Amino acid sequence: MTMSFQLSDAEMKFFEENGYVGPFTLFEPEEMTEIWQQIRMDILDTDAAPFPNSKLNYDRHLDLLQLNQIFTNPKLTDRVASILGPDVLGWRSEWFPKYPGDEATDWHQAESFVEFEGTEKIEPTAAEEGKPWELTAWIAMSDATRANGCLKVMPGTHHTWYFDEKRNIPFEPENINQLNTVGKKSGFFGYDWDRLKLDETWVPDEEKAVHMEVKAGQFFLFTSRCMHGSNPNSTTDSTRFGWATRFVPTHVKVYANQDSFQHFGETLNLDRYSTVLVKGKDSYKHNRVRLPMQTGEQQGSNGQAVLKDEDALV
């Protein structure tokens, strides 16, 4: 397979050692800002969305062409495939806005995306020792700075679990943007990730954090096993808009045997849900899979072509 934007050997080595790599440029800031202005309007109409009545607004790459084109852009997917292997599915996209005054995002680690309800959202069927089987590309739709709470990572932590992502914890929206028990304004959008700590007394060493300051239109890659979070937005006038796009190799089962899942107090019905083949082919056939949208194709969650046996992407 020829890929134009694969990671260099040095970038691969950096990722293996640190659990993240980047930033890379998808769009120049002016172009991203223009695209984002359009997207911000488009995402308000959720009729054709995969989860039409959800405030979370997950997976809008399934119905909006502009987001689908970003999700399947080779600048992103070639680099993702360098790490995950040649056959890749996109399984989730999520908004991470941080408005002026918003609290910090707790340090956390994930892999199966159990996300507090005890059910694994993704499960590998052919995992290889030491090789990641999930990857996130965090795309900045606006500038992300230290002041407005850019993502921060703790290099090298992807080899060690500091949290148990499989423990169930309650959703407590009343705690959002409130001071927590140690007087810190931090949380995970209504969940308290500190309750998942393996050692309650352990405190992450903030000195070792790397703050991923990026311009609008840039992105970086990380495995969610690499501890990450963000500081509060301490500005009065700058919102950082992140769009996290998530990928797995085709051997991973996505939402296996699930018709719906619970998250942030909502029940999300998977009727309209599908993964998207963003690279290579799908020989495993574990999942519902669609092809990237074509320009001019009918938009909407059911508008994308469904994968046929002969389909493969380069």
Ligand X SMILES: O=C(O)CCC(=O)C(=O)O
Interface ranges with ligand X (CB under 6 A): 96, 105, 136, 138, 151, 224, 228, 230, 242, 244
Two tokens, residue 58 = 């997950």
Phi, psi torsion values for 111, nearest 5 degrees: -150, -50
> Smallest gap, in angstroms, from Cβ of residue 121 to ligand X?
13
Nearer to ligand X, 244 or 312 (CB): 244
Q: DSSP state, 196?
A: G
Nearer to ligand X, 14 or 99 (CB): 99
**Cα separation of 91 and 226, whole Å?**
19
Nearer to ligand X, 36 or 96 (CB): 96
> Smallest gap, in angstroms, from Cβ of residue 42 to ligand X?
21
- N-term to C-term CA, the chain: 6
Nearer to ligand X, 230 or 287 (CB): 230
SS3 37: helix
Nearer to ligand X, 218 or 230 (CB): 230
Class of residue 214 by CB neighbours under 10 A (exposed 0-12, middle 13-18, buried 19+):
buried
Nearer to ligand X, 105 or 142 (CB): 105
Nearer to ligand X, 82 or 230 (CB): 230
> Smallest gap, in angstroms, from Cβ of residue 186 to ligand X?
11
Per-residue DSSP letters for 31-59? HHHHHHHHHHHHTT--TTSSSTT-SS-TT
> Smallest gap, in angstroms, from Cβ of residue 275 to ligand X?
18
Half-sphere exposure (Cβ direction) of 98: Cα atoms closer than 13 Å: 28
**For residues 286 and 124, is the Cβ–Cβ distance under 8 A?**
no
Output the CA–CA distances (angstroms, integers) from residue 257 to 123, 267, 270, 271, 308, in the order listed. Answer: 11, 16, 11, 12, 22
> Smallest gap, in angstroms, from Cβ of residue 104 to ligand X?
8
Count other C-beta atoms under 10 Å from residue 207's C-beta: 5
> Smallest gap, in angstroms, from Cβ of residue 230 to ligand X?
4
**Cα separation of 282 and 257, whole Å?**
19
Nearer to ligand X, 62 or 137 (CB): 137
Class of residue 41 by CB neighbours under 10 A (exposed 0-12, middle 13-18, buried 19+):
exposed
> Smallest gap, in angstroms, from Cβ of residue 273 to ligand X?
19
SS3 275: strand
> Smallest gap, in angstroms, from Cβ of residue 106 to ligand X?
9
Residue 151 host element (H or E): strand 151-153
